[in-house]
Chain A
Amino acid sequence: MTQHKNAQPLSLRVPEPSGRPGDTPDFSHLKLDAPGAVDRPPVGSTPYDMRDHAFRLIRVLDDAGVAVGPWNPRLDAETLRKGLKAMILTRAFDDRMHRAHRQGKTSFYMKCTGEEAIAVAQGMILSREDMGFPTYRQQGLLIARGYPLVDMMNQIYSNAEDPIKGRQLPIMYSSRDYGFFTISGNLGTQVPQAVGWAMASAYKGDDKIAISWIGDGATAEGDFHNALTFASVYRAPVILNIVNNQWAISSFQGIAGGLETTFASKAIGYGLPALRVDGNDFLAVWAATQWAEERARSNQGATVIELFTYRGAPHSTSDDPSRYRPGDEHEKWPLGDPIARLKQHLIALGEWSDEQHSEAEAEAVAQVRAAGKESEAIGTLGQSRPSVKTMFEEVFATEDWRLIEQRREVGV
């Protein structure tokens, strides 16, 4: 064996976040473009011509709540109010369901606090005919589209009216009619499926597109990279979102490679255009999605969008973030709160007021409470559930002899 004399010993690097419990939150490493500072390239731009967009940050709302710059989507007040109300409702829903877990009414819940603008804006832009391939933090998509809260709760409670018959974790919804693909617990699997769905639409000469979401952590999964290859090679009409909410349970985004480059920039190697967007800015999310939508619908292929945000709540009801990050990090997030920012914008436009906002919040709470009562009357976890017979259904299109025999063994 060769002896390397005088050689410097190698050392292994393990990335660490900028703060741990007890530390003062530190976001000084973030390079945040000023609102309005990033140009809006033509939708037909080549990925090469717009590679800077993978490293910049598209923002529309300034500190005073005024929409500035080329990405201002110039939405009418009614659309803005609708979006704001859907975000408020999403947060109220999350809060009630989180409490329901604490009360033992469900086994599990996941909030999307701080990320409401993403699913709500994108759910509003795309049609229900398009297909969303979500993760577990896009409940805002269903809520923005008016999916019955009672149905969501029935699943959360695994009660007799659970639309998917007690087979899934509470928050893993599924609704073809609302353009919401069935959620998987195995991370990243939905992204190449979204590409396949989009390829099918293109193959058939239809006009529907697909949209998928993946967390920053799960971009390390092979599925993500397979999806980018397929999307690029076959020019699939799909929008591939990466929700960079800084935390994958207790692992910060640097563990998935976020310190070395931006997540958006991973698109560059695949020849895909990338946009990096302030995910807490409803208008910026809207504008970027619209850009990607236009690109997909005009047969120019896929776009990767990194939505830069912060997961305010625990990963799930099974998680305690005070064990791995500064306790007040969320409050110090330099890009603020998506609801507060859109509220400020609407007020600045003269289209909203503190009173209206309080009323909307109260209405949302009342709506959630009413749905909650209705759902709880059907039953919370353990109080009622679908017939055990359904356990054996839909494994296949038709039961085979094994399932029939095993069902009989259970006595149903």
Chain B
Amino acid sequence: MTEQTFTESDRTDGIEPDMVTADHAPPSEAPTSGTQPMNMIQALNSALHVKMAEDPNVLSFGEDAGFFGGVFRVTDQLQQKHGLTRSFDAPISECGIVAAAIGMGAYGLRPVVEIQFADYIYPAYDQIVSEAAKLRYRSAGMFTAPITVRSPYGGGIFGGQTHSQSPESLFTHIAGLKVVIPSNPYDAKGLLTAAIEDDDPVIFFEPKRLYNGPFDGWHKNPVSPWKTQDLAQVPTGKYTLPIGKARIMREGSDVTILCYGTMVWVSLAGAEHAGVDAEVIDLRTLVPLDIETIEASVKKTGRCVIVHEAPKTSGFGGELSALVQERCFYHLEAPIARVTGWDTPYPHAFEWEYFPGPERVAEALKSVMTGGR
């Protein structure tokens, strides 16, 4: 692959305020106080502080999540502010963490647990998949697990194989789980608040590449801070965003890009780079999926590109592609294209060859604009 060099003037700092359409789902409750610029970590932290202050049934725990506030500091000061029994450190036992949360949820609490990296979620897989996801169904509603499992996920931070994975499709496949992935501070707080209030178990993946800034997709560019972004103006009070509602990040008429998490920003950059008038849809929640928004957009544009970090085979893009084909086949003017991670383990030294970047997105956009490869 040929490395291209970009100058400062070539880069896009991500979305401009006018690229964000009125499709912001309105806050369900008007913020009681003003807004302030926050990065995603601060926004998530704010969601936890606000919910814990409001509801004594909300508690938070995980590895290093108590006194220290989490290795990424998402749970910072929760213990100091809300007490030792409300935010505490857990043993290095992801299975135990999730299982304990399930028991607490069955009791009537709303625990929010942190799995330090999504790559560590596998020891907890059985408890999430066989237990949390199934309690309501198998007990005919007698027992439920209204838990939130938070976990930083995805690549782009040189984390190697075990700090970079995107396991979302392992959970979207499981009946009974909701899967939420925000792409910016404003959504992160509103969606996390909604996840905590949700009566079903929610897997909440936080794109760690976006924790501190809105990664513009070009890894050689300096990272701009979130505060330069409109979406970093986060209400300090409580608000929720509905789980199951996508956000149109950029309106366009040529092609629909379906993406989530870090790939929202990569897709915006890719569209810019390709010079294609793409409609960029941030799915925000994979389950439940906002099929209406997807269907309306693809029927309008007639083309679809799907972008995710996870490997291609059996990735969520496969599901999206099938849904678009089932519902929009006669509107399609080109085959659906997928831009994804490769079907390899996540390689440390080849991170930027693995990570889907704006160039690969642009390539796919150009390809579907000319009728496919």
Contact = CB atoms under 8 A, between A and B. Distances in A.
A103 to B, nearest CB: 27
A62 B200 CA distance: 52
Given A197-B104, A197-B107, 11 more contacts: A131-B107, A184-B130, A192-B99, A192-B127, A193-B99, A195-B99, A196-B99, A204-B109, A226-B91, A227-B96, A230-B96
A90 interface: no
Interface stretch (B11-19, B140-148, B209-217): B140-148
Contacts of B291: 401
B203 to A, nearest CB: 13
Contact of A182 (B93, B100, B135, B244): B135
A165 B135 CA distance: 14
Interface stretch (A80-88, A139-147, A171-179, A335-343): A171-179
Interface in B197-238: 198-200
B123 to A, nearest CB: 7
Contact of B95 (A192, A200, A203): A192
A223 B96 CA distance: 7
Contacts of A133: 103
Interface string A152-178: 000000000001110110001011100
Contacts of B107: 131, 196-197, 200-201, 204
Contact of A167 (B59, B126, B138, B144): B138
Interface of B: 59, 85-86, 90-91, 93, 95-96, 99-104, 106-109, 111, 123, 126-127, 130-131, 134-144, 175-176, 178, 198-200, 244, 287-289, 291
A396 B131 CA distance: 14
Contacts of B90: 230
Interface residues of A, number: 44
Nearest to A228: B96
Interface in A386-412: 394-397, 400-402
Nearest to A401: B291
A181 B143 contact: yes
Nearest to A173: B139
A264 interface: no
Contacts of B95: 192, 222-223, 226
A35 to B, nearest CB: 36
Q: Which of B107, B135, B178, B199 has the most CB of A within 10 A?
A: B107
Nearest to B98: A192
A233 interface: yes
In order of increasing CB-CB distance, the 6 nearest A-B pairs are: A196-B103, A196-B100, A192-B99, A226-B96, A200-B107, A197-B103
Interface in A227-241: 227, 229-230, 233
Contact of B143 (A163, A176, A200): A176
Contacts of A193: 99-100, 102-103, 106, 127, 131
A190 B101 CA distance: 12
B200 A396 contact: yes
A394 B99 contact: no
B99 A172 contact: no
B106 A233 contact: no
A395 B144 CA distance: 10
Given A184-B131, A199-B100, A395 B176 contact: yes
Contacts of A302: none
Q: Which of A196, A397, A402 has the most CB of B within 10 A?
A: A196
A397 B199 CA distance: 6
Contact of A198 (B99, B103, B199, B288): B103
A289 interface: no
A27 to B, nearest CB: 36
B194 to A, nearest CB: 13
A175 B142 contact: yes
Nearest to B102: A193
B137 to A, nearest CB: 5
A198 B198 CA distance: 23
B244 A200 contact: no
A194 interface: yes
A234 to B, nearest CB: 8
B106 A396 contact: no
A219 interface: no
B29 to A, nearest CB: 20
Nearest to A194: B103
Contacts of A226: 91, 93, 95-96, 99
A194 to B, nearest CB: 6
B104 A196 contact: yes
Given A167-B140, A233-B91, A400-B288, A195 B199 contact: no
24 contacts: A164-B138, A167-B140, A172-B138, A174-B142, A186-B130, A189-B99, A192-B96, A192-B100, A193-B103, A194-B103, A196-B103, A196-B104, A196-B111, A197-B103, A200-B103, A226-B99, A227-B96, A229-B91, A230-B91, A230-B93, A394-B136, A394-B137, A394-B140, A397-B199
Contacts of B134: 184
A174 B140 contact: yes
Given A227-B99, A230-B93, A181 B106 contact: yes
A355 B86 CA distance: 58
A210 interface: yes
A267 B329 CA distance: 61
Given A192-B100, A197-B103, A230-B96, A396 B178 contact: yes
A220 B198 CA distance: 34
A229 B96 contact: yes
Nearest to A174: B139
A182 B143 CA distance: 7
Contacts of A181: 106, 143
A192 B288 CA distance: 29
Nearest to A396: B200
Nearest to A203: B85
A189 B127 contact: yes
Nearest to B126: A186
Contacts of A395: 136-137, 175-176
B199 A400 contact: no
A222 B109 contact: no
A395 B288 CA distance: 12
Given A222-B95, A400-B244, A195 B103 contact: yes
A200 B109 contact: yes
B100 A230 contact: yes
A203 B58 CA distance: 11
A191 B96 CA distance: 10
Q: Which of A192, A204, A229, A395 has the most CB of B within 10 A?
A: A192
